[in-house]
Chain A
């Protein structure tokens, strides 16, 4: 089945640690995105990538980093510089800039 797989589903991090969230898609989509969702709020764009080896900052990129070495994969690292990392993280992909986006099931990150 084609789709977007995020792992892990739940992640706990100690303060001061970096953690990496995985996002893999087998839809042959060119574009991939990371969003953050806080309770009662909409989705805010962290980073996006239109093609391999290229990515751009979204609205709230501070404290996050990404890589796009393969078309299928777009991992997100939440660094210790992110002041308030506890949130629900969503990865999405689309064929291109003008098409609809499809989402993974999300990773819930909690800082303990």
Chain B
């Protein structure tokens, strides 16, 4: 079993929909959580960075961490075709060990 699991998709939604992307993890020591967006043939771009549990909002994006369930989510409101990309979750533990990535979820937003 991988340390971080992510449904590979593809997830196809109509423009304007609310998108929910999720990751589950097994290591209870993870404390720092990140979401990256990666367009085809490009490097990942950091979208959200959160510490421990709770919610964080930035524009149309909301990151949610539920440490008791070992589950993190990224919500995208009013999704746009330009949101079509692969979304990667990543996490770090308190010892500052290396980032552990999920395999990514491919999102397609159709006009």
Contacts and interface: CB of A to CB of B under 8 A. Distances in A.
A42 B101 contact: yes
Interface residues of A, number: 23
Contacts of A100: 32, 34, 46, 49
Contacts of B32: 98, 100
Contacts of A90: 43-44
Interface in B53-103: 88, 90, 92, 95-99, 101-103
Contact of B96 (A4, A6, A98): A98
A21 B68 CA distance: 41
B98 A58 contact: yes
Contacts of A6: 43
Contacts of A40: 8, 103
Interface stretch (A12-20, A62-70, A78-86, A101-109): A101-109
Contact of B98 (A33, A103, A105, A106): A33
Contact of A103 (B44, B95, B97, B104): B44
Contact of B99 (A101, A104, A105): A101
B7 interface: no
Interface in B3-30: 6, 8
Given A40-B8, A100-B34, A106 B102 contact: no
A97 B96 contact: yes
A96 interface: yes
Nearest to A103: B43
A48 interface: yes
A98 B45 CA distance: 18
A97 B44 CA distance: 19
10 contacts: A40-B8, A43-B101, A45-B98, A90-B44, A97-B95, A97-B97, A98-B32, A101-B90, A103-B44, A106-B41
Interface of B: 6, 8, 32, 34, 36, 41-46, 49, 88, 90, 92, 95-99, 101-104
Interface of A: 4, 6, 33, 40-43, 45, 48, 58, 88, 90, 96-98, 100-106, 108
